[in-house]
Each structure stands twice: as C-alpha cells, then as structure tokens.
C-alpha cells in the first residue's frame, strides 16, 4: 500500500514493514519489539515463553526526507507498526510508558496520527503515584485521525483489528520513554478482552471509569487528513 497520501513521504507499506528508497528517506534506526520484550507488561503469564521471537511491533526512529535534515534537529518523526494478533488473552499492543520531564518542568507531550489501519489509545493520568489513577481515556483512531498525548498522561496503543496498524509520531528528540511503572503493574489500568470489554487491572489501587474521547482532529494547526509530517514542515518554513 502506498502511504504517500497519509504520510507525506514516498513510503510503501508491505506485509510487516515499510519500503522506501535510501536516496529519498533517511532513518536513524529500526527497533523490533518481540513477545519476550512485552511479556512483563501483560497480566496473563500462563503462555509466557511461547513464540518469544514473534514480532509484536517495530519502530522506525528518526525518519525523514533526506533533504529535510535541518528541519528535524530538535524534533523527531517516527513510524510505529503494530502487527495484528494476540498476546495470550490480550491484543497486540505497545508497552505503556510515561515520558521524561522537559526543561519546562513538565513531561514531554507527543502527537500521533494513524496512517494505516485502526488503533485504540489508552491514556492514563496518575495521582501522586502510578497505581492511583485519576483519569483514564480511550480514543478510537482510524486512518488520518490525530491523537495528542498530553504531558501528564501515559499511553498504551492497542491493535484489536485483523490487520496491522501504522502510526506516525512527532515528539522532542530529547524525550525518553519511562516504562518501569507500567511494568510493575503488568500493563495499563484497563485491559481489553477478546469480547471487546475493558476490565480493571487489579494491580492498581484506584481506577476511575474509562472515558471515551474522540481524536483531536482540529487541535491547533492539526487537521484530519493532512499528514503531520507535512504540517510540521509547513510550520517550520512559515
């Protein structure tokens, strides 16, 4: 599938990966996350050790057009591909994380856009400690939808569909992913089951009702249907 329309880049989506010309596209690195890497973020461990080399998702770090190098010296553009499938009783997902604290004293925010497939974003905001959640939000996002992750929220991205999902992401190049708390509770505060229900993760002490929110398709300069890579490029020029 040609992703030029949804990404603004000359990239093709193949079965489990992306295809591009190195003369046109530069990538800092590719990280492949396998079953063994996510097993400690799952509630059900009976299947642990099975298919441990199976790919769950992959990240293309620092991807950009070759000629755009000077536009991405502070910010970073990534692609994430979450494969279809399940991890025991849970759907394939990213490991949850909070982001590190910026010089402003707040955690770094980040912006996502679905460029192929369908994803569900589970955002959670903790109180004075991770196991006490004061806000939990679920966002259903389809192709072209934009999701903004606020500074104080952690995020997990789930692929409950029958095809892979491809996501674009913009964040500060200085942002670090902090996963220790999510690993301690074996994942996010809600877990989606095969029948579509969301159930409590009992490793948390307090969990509010799960709120459903729409994607942020009209947030500031962001517009649904316009690739976030193109929006950032336009803002940097003007």
- DSSP SS3 for 184: helix
Q: What CATH code is carried by the domain that includes residue 19?
A: 2.60.120.10
Q: pLDDT tens track of the chain, all 238 residues? A: 999 999 999 999 999 999 999 999 999 999 999 999 999 999 876 666 567 789 999 999 999 999 998 888 899 999 999 999 988 889 999 999 999 999 999 999 999 999 999 999 999 999 999 999 999 999 999 999 999 999 999 999 999 999 999 999 999 999 999 999 999 999 999 999 877 889 999 999 999 999 999 999 887 788 899 999 998 877 654 4
Q: Which domain holds residue 208?
A: 4-237
CA-CA distance, 229 to 11, in Å (whole number)? 13
- Who's near 160: CB < 8 A, 6+ residues apart? 91, 118, 120, 192, 196
Residue among 80, 82, 43, 49 at smallest CA distance from 63: 80
Q: What's the structural domain count of the chain?
A: 1
CA-CA distance, 64 to 174, in Å (whole number)? 17
User: 225: phi > 0 → left, psi -120 to 50 → alpha, else beta; which?
Assistant: left
Residue among 60, 120, 130 at smallest CA distance from 90: 120
pTM of the model: 0.95
């Amino acid at each position: 599938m040609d992703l030029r329309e949804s990404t603004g880049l000359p990239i093709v989506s193949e079965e489990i990966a992306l295809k591009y010309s190195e003369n046109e596209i530069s990538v800092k690195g590719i990280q492949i996350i396998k079953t063994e890497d996510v097993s400690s973020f799952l509630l059900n461990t009976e299947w642990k050790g099975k298919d441990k080399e199976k790919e769950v998702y992959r990240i293309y770090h620092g991807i950009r057009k070759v000629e755009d190098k000077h536009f991405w010296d502070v910010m970073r553009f990534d692609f994430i591909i979450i494969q279809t499938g399940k991890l025991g009783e849970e759907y394939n997902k990213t490991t949850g994380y909070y982001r590190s604290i910026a010089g402003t004293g707040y955690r770094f925010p980040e912006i996502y856009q679905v460029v192929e497939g369908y994803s569900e974003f589970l955002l959670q905001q903790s109180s004075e400690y991770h196991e006490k959640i004061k806000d939990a939000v679920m966002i259903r996002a389809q192709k072209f939808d934009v999701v903004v992750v606020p500074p104080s929220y952690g995020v997990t991205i789930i692929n409950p569909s029958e095809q892979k999902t491809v996501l674009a992401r913009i964040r500060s190049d200085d942002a670090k992913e902090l996963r220790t708390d999510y690993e301690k509770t074996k994942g996010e505060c809600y877990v989606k089951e095969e029948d579509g229900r969301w159930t409590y993760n009992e490793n948390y002490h307090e969990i509010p009702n799960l709120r459903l929110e729409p994607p942020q398709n009209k947030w500031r300069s962001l517009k649904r249907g316009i690739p976030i890579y193109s929006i950032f490029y336009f803002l940097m020029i003007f």
